[in-house]
Structure 1
């Protein structure tokens, strides 16, 4: 009998924000799969280490590149490695930061395995922008306000065209170029939301140096900018 594949969201960084279901699935799984991007520390592993001790680990290469053909090769390889484990009857939990359905590389593997006929499921997690809003002690949208979630490294320049609250995810590489423009819009930023080394900026004028990859910007709606 084939095993089952789970894409498991482990939240933004604070281990206390893991869901009860995520913990149960990890504890019941035979193999824990983790994305490997070349960073010195695997944050998903750090978040979950108290629940996966003694588990077999499978690191899947998920480099931060934009070459689609090369990315497809990495995703195909990861899917094949996991498929082999599922054929042995093993249950595999693939851990991903935040929620699997929001800009997560695990979904490329999940999609391939689903198409191959394997039993797959998604375990939702707390998204990074919800963790950031909590750290900022503010809401993201109220009344009839729209909420836009934008991948900053791809389409950050389109944010100004949208009405409502805008969230720029993974904005570390672009922040210093847009700092003055964003500060004029009452933008706020959280670096490494809910993690031990979190930094919170209610005013972007306080930012003096390039922030990390795990930086998230919240631009309030025009109505709420006027309230400040």
Structure 2
């Protein structure tokens, strides 16, 4: 492909992207005006990086958050089981994740959780659940699970931000959660501190997790 054709195609890409379009077009113009092959390659790669970032950001925004009800229990159970078996399996043994995942089969348990906690879910464009979290009046965060294909796309961060807002509305001073080995670093990056390491019963087995907390309101 001739450089002129390449520049033209990059400009076409840039014009189709609405987010920060002016910045992209500026880079495209530099590419068009560049006659040195080395600079041409540098700015071409820069434009492609810009477009890739925008595509990733659009993917992150392609879900909505809403409160969950008993009508969502089947999806809650499925997402819980699949996440434990596919995501948490990197930090726990096969026997441990299978025991933990078996808790997802108890429909009455999920009904009780919905009665005692506010659950929110993230849903994609097809209205399929891709993540969920929860908060209660005491500031206890019971759940945080994100579908294996939506890991690293900002879903957990968005869910955490929303449940922290719920805790603030309840007027609690701190949020407490029992966090898995898998999620520990995520919560630490969000300002949570380990209170202690503990063993908690899943179904029949006791699994290692961390009691963590985050102060969201200083006591008067």
Normalised-by-shorter TM-score class: under 0.3
Of the two structures, which has the highest relative contact order with CA contacts closer than 8 Å and spacing of 6 or more? 1
**Which has the larger helix fraction?**
2
> Normalised by the size of structure 2, how large is the TM-score?
0.26
